């Protein structure tokens, strides 16, 4: 795919849709389009953060590791979603493992390009903040659900 086609595809991503065409072309030129097969890892927890990704097509599972070492999918992210941005923004190692669910196409945006994109474009920065807020709310809801499940299990164990 050439830079013009990639820029047209990027224009469909809500987070990037307000960028002017020249910035979209520059982003397409400086970023890397990647394809993953079912079961491929995009990155693993603990790895250094070197980029953020926009999912252009397909879905990825966010995995957690059980006490026995088994990987379990806890969330799924799909088309037009931003992933990996938390590690880039916090300059920390990856906090999660991501695995392709079926065929997945992404745009890999290196740290410097991603940080420049959000510092130079208020519309993109606002969308990144909205996505982060949504992810935090979702994580909070999951935590509450897990805490409720643990309470129920403890009450059930106490009655036996």
| pLDDT confidence of residue 101 | 97
Nearby residues of 17 by Cβ (< 8 Å), 6 or more positions away:
11
Other C-beta atoms within 10 Å of 109: how many? 24
Please report, for the domain that includes residue 66, its CATH number.
2.60.120.10
Q: Are 93 and 69 in contact (CB under 8 A)?
A: no
Distance in angstroms between the alpha carbons of the first and the last residue of the chain:
63
| pLDDT confidence of residue 63 | 92
| pLDDT confidence of residue 128 | 83
Query: Across the strands, what pairs with 65?
Result: 71
Overall number of domains in the chain: 1
Other C-beta atoms within 10 Å of 15: how many? 23
Question: Could you list the residue range(s) of the whole structural domain that residue 122 is in?
Answer: 3-158
Q: Are 136 and 130 in contact (CB under 8 A)?
A: no
Question: pTM to 2 decimals?
Answer: 0.80
| pLDDT confidence of residue 71 | 87
| pLDDT confidence of residue 160 | 58
H-run or E-run covering 76: strand 71-77
| pLDDT confidence of residue 1 | 60
As to burial, measured by CB atoms within 10 angstroms (0-12 exposed, 13-18 middle, 19+ buried), residue 117 is: buried
| pLDDT confidence of residue 152 | 86
Digits of tens for pLDDT over the chain (160 positions)? Answer: 677 887 887 888 877 888 888 888 888 888 999 999 999 999 999 999 999 998 989 999 999 887 888 888 888 999 988 899 989 999 999 989 999 999 999 999 999 998 998 888 888 888 888 888 888 888 888 878 878 888 888 888 776 5
């Amino acid at each position: 795919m050439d830079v013009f086609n990639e820029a047209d595809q990027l224009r469909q991503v809500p987070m990037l849709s307000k960028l002017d065409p020249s910035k979209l072309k520059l982003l397409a030129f400086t970023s890397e389009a990647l394809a993953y097969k079912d079961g491929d890892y995009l990155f693993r927890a603990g790895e250094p953060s070197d980029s953020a990704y926009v999912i252009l097509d397909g879905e990825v599972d966010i995995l957690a590791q059980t006490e026995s070492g088994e990987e379990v999918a806890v969330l799924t992210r799909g088309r037009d979603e931003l992933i990996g941005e938390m590690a880039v923004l916090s300059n920390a190692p990856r906090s999660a493992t991501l695995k392709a669910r079926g065929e997945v196409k992404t745009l890999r945006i290196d740290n410097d390009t991603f940080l420049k994109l959000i510092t130079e474009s208020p519309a993109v920065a606002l969308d990144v903040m909205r996505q982060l807020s949504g992810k935090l709310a979702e994580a909070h809801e999951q935590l509450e659900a897990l805490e409720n499940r643990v309470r129920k299990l403890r009450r059930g164990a106490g009655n036996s």
